[in-house]
Structure 1
Amino acid sequence: MAETIVSGMAGRYATALFELAEEAGAIDAVQADLGRLSGLMAESPDLARLVRSPVFTAEQQLAAMAAVLDKAGIAGLAGNFVRLVAQNRRLFSLPRMITDYAALVAKSRGETTAEVTVAAPLGDAHLAALKEALAQQTGKDVHLDVTVDPSILGGLIVKLGSRMVDASLKTKLNSIRHAMKEVR
């Protein structure tokens, strides 16, 4: 049985888009357009509010998204997809659809993504070593999604699929504190 990597309504939309992009030979172009749109949503609180707010009508969302897509130069399959999503009142799920599409692309290429949390930015040598170690562990090409969180104090937290390794200094200190409480 094949492993399901996307599910729900957003997964169905992403799967349909992936299949259309695969037929058209436009997987990379669609991914680039969706990545650009995702960046715009991250940069603009107004656009993010438009996407997730049920207050706007389908017509208002469609008109606004059409203007954003035209200004960003996003056309073709990705542009038509976003317009369809807006028209169907599913814009609130667009961020998840974009994430699910990226997961489908990665799976088709034999890639996987590891979410890495570090206390301070890692240098290129450390990133390369981490990427290689994870690639050896999984047997796949690993893309790193690195987040800097100074609250972990040191070390790192790696999430890869359903597995997580927490080697942060904060967790180790909490374990020591807990062990010392039990000794008393």
Structure 2
Amino acid sequence: MGRKEEKPRVTDRNSSVSGVAERYASALFDLAREQSALDSVEADLKSFRTMLADSADLRRLIESPTFLPREQEKAIGAIADRAGITGLTGNFVRLVAHNRRLFTLPGIIAAFEVLMADARGEVTAKVTSAHPLSAEQQESLRAILSQKLGKKIAFDLSVNPAILGGLVVKVGSRMIDSSLRSKLMMMKTRLKEVG
């Protein structure tokens, strides 16, 4: 009688991190709404996101499992204080570190931004350009997307010189890639098919 061998279960770490991040973001959103602090918490989290983007050391602090929780909590508290991130957001970030979930902070910030956009009736468009967009270009793009989607549009702008020119716009699961790099790659593929 051969026993059926059970296969080990493999869990998707990203989806579990995403679920944890969403729960933390939801709890923070509810607390901020109760305390009429949504705008200040949003501003603090945007500051934190900018610091994460600008500092490899900060990213290493939140991502590395080699730091002890008490070290992470102390360091993240000092960073928040130095950046003027106090009150609800400062306490929240310390709690996340205390609970050994600091690695989910980028996901928490992203999930909180989605909740804020939903509360304002907005949809966020992730826009990547080869060069920074002027205010006029942003407004033109916002008007086009708003008309197509029938919603207010918030931008998450980034610059990537590798796309050479044009834009890559992602709204939810939809992506519009009008980058020069993509057009050149398509042209190269077509030339290979002809030759």
Query: TM-score, normalising length from structure 2?
Result: 0.83
**1:92: how far off?**
0.9
C-alpha contact (below 8 Å) 2:117/2:154 kept by paired residues: no
**1:7: how far off?**
4.7
1:70 to 77, 81, 86: 81
What SS class does the counterpart of residue 144 from structure 1 fall into? strand
Alpha-carbon separation, structure 2, partners of 1:86 and 1:78:
12
- Shifted more, 142-151 versus 58-67: the winner is 142-151
What SS class does the counterpart of residue 178 from structure 2 fall into? strand
| Higher Rg of the two aligned structures | 2
Indicate the residue corresponding to 2:53 in structure 1: 42
2:69 to 53, 58, 82: 58
**1:54: how far off?**
1.0
RMSD: 1.8
CA pair 39-117 structure 1, distance change in 2 beyond 3 A = closer
Matched-pair identity in %: 51
Alpha-carbon separation, structure 1, partners of 2:132 and 2:84:
33
Indicate the residue corresponding to 1:141 in structure 2: 152
Alpha-carbon separation, structure 2, partners of 1:63 and 1:105:
29
Tell me how many residue pairs correspond in the alignment. 179
Task: Indicate whether 1:21 and 2:32 are aligned.
Answer: yes
What SS class does the counterpart of residue 73 from structure 1 fall into? coil
What SS class does the counterpart of residue 153 from structure 2 fall into? strand
1:101 to 100, 103, 112: 112
2:130 to 104, 114, 119: 119
What SS class does the counterpart of residue 115 from structure 2 fall into? helix
**1:156: how far off?**
1.6
- Shifted more, 117-126 versus 25-34: the winner is 117-126
- Shifted more, 169-178 versus 10-19: the winner is 169-178
**1:45: how far off?**
2.7
What is the one-letter code of the residue matched to 2:82? K
Indicate the residue corresponding to 2:43 in structure 1: 32
Indicate the residue corresponding to 1:163 in structure 2: 174
Alpha-carbon separation, structure 1, partners of 2:25 and 2:113:
9
What SS class does the counterpart of residue 142 from structure 1 fall into? strand
Indicate the residue corresponding to 1:86 in structure 2: 97
Alpha-carbon separation, structure 2, partners of 1:86 and 1:26:
21
**1:25: how far off?**
1.2
